Amino acid sequence: MKILVANLGSTSLKWRVFDFSKRPESLLHKGGFERVADYPKAIGDCLAQLKEAGAIQNENDLAAVGFKTIMARGVNGCVRLDEEVLRGMEAFSGIAPAHNPPYITGIRLFAQRMPSVPLVALFETAFYQWAPEAAMRYAVPDAWHELGLRRWGFHGASHKYIAERSAELLGREDVAERARRLYVDGGASAARKSDFRVISCHLGGSSSVTGILNGVAIGTSMGFSPQSGLPQNNRVGDLDSFALPFLMRSTGLSLDEAERLLCKESGLKALSGGFNDIRDIEAQAMQGDRHARLALEVLVHQTRHWIGAFLLELNGADALVFTAGIGENNVSIREAVCARLDNLGIVLDPERNAATKAAENVISSLDSRVKVLVIPANEELVVAREVRRFLEKCGRSQPTGPILHAYA
């Protein structure tokens, strides 16, 4: 069984193909295009590359295409994509303006290009379905909560992979199995020997910190929308709800313009004076730019703030994990995040830290009570495994529901 996982950005298409015919599954192909102007062509080129590389003979070799979708009204977990699910995604497009629209467009194009291949989504909100109610609730009336005004949590596939992989690496197969089966049984499986507590820091173009107890999320820094929590590359991060009306009344900004600015011109980009890649921000800071320095300090401060919250909620931690572009590669951000935490049992080994880039490794010192790990993100594998499980349960024969070809 071969599954293509497509990662859709507004101007990018990245993919991985997994083969599940043998255990463990294998990665057959990965690739991608940046600065995509013609999406239908990019999908065609992706399929051509897969054929050329011998990963598939034709598109019917694919058991399904999986998508790491963000959020939809009334839909969560792993589902077959059809017009109703897309309508749910459209209903929440305003909450995830950088993510839902490209996914909706891309999914319609995939449906058009390969009508006989099932399209299956795993929503990023899925990982938080079992988090305690008190951790996910805002202090608003029930009617607002029912509308969807609640903490949803995102980067679910990434943090779920960390839940599984950190337990495997630290010899807790019972917890790893519980995490792997989470979407099947909601964490009901496997007796626990003792609690296994993980704080997962996904630091990348967008960032979040999640607390994980025995493979199950207990809370996360992102709330109602992917614009919340830590400062993101160009999205604002947490902001008091009274800030928006204040800003609009004070400056005369329209709601649409304020929304655009919070989603595209804020976060690290606003703080640093126009840079949204940490490598550029660091280069500026090295030259003495105080705005760039502040941007780095805010990111580190917010990351530590959330690590602190989960250290308390979890009553300590067994592992602190760094993942995603910044978490995997950025030695100095990791060092700054872990500085002066020895009284809390977190001590980095500077040499191991400096030597670790884009590779799995323990970077804490031998006497650190909390193991500090770097684990490269593998969100696509989490999606592919859930899609496979979905197909095995529901069968491939059940056709994908109708998807309107609005972009024909």
Chain residues binding ligand ADP by CB under 6 A are 204-206, 277-279, 324-326, 329-330
Q: Smaller CB distance to ligand ADP: residue 324 or 348?
A: 324
Q: Which is nearer to ligand ADP, 206 or 221 (CB)?
A: 206
Alpha-carbon distance 384 to 89, whole Å? 20
The minimum distance between CB 63 and ligand ADP, in angstroms, equals 26
- Give whichever of 329 and 353 is closer to ligand ADP, judged by the CB atom: 329
Nearer to ligand ADP, 34 or 256 (CB): 34
Peptide bond into 399 cis (omega under 30): no
Residue in the block written with tokens 């941007």: 295
The span from the CA of 69 to the CA of 83, in Å, is: 14
User: What is the C-alpha end-to-end distance of the chain, expressed in Å?
Assistant: 29
Of the pair 104, 324, the CB lying nearest ligand ADP is at 324
| Residue placing its CB nearer to ligand ADP in the complex, 210 or 330 | 330
For residues 47 and 326, which CB has a smaller minimum distance to ligand ADP in the complex?
A: 326
Residue 26 Cβ vs ligand ADP, minimum distance, rounded to whole Å = 23
Least CB distance from residue 155 to ligand ADP, whole Å?
9
Residue nearest to ligand ADP (CB): 325
Closest CB 190 distance from ligand ADP, rounded Å: 31
Q: Min. distance of Cβ 35 from ligand ADP in angstroms? A: 14
Shortest reach from residue 331's CB to ligand ADP, in Å = 9
Angle at 241 between CA 235 and CA 245, to 5 degrees: 95
What's the min distance (Å) between Cβ of 379 and ligand ADP? 9
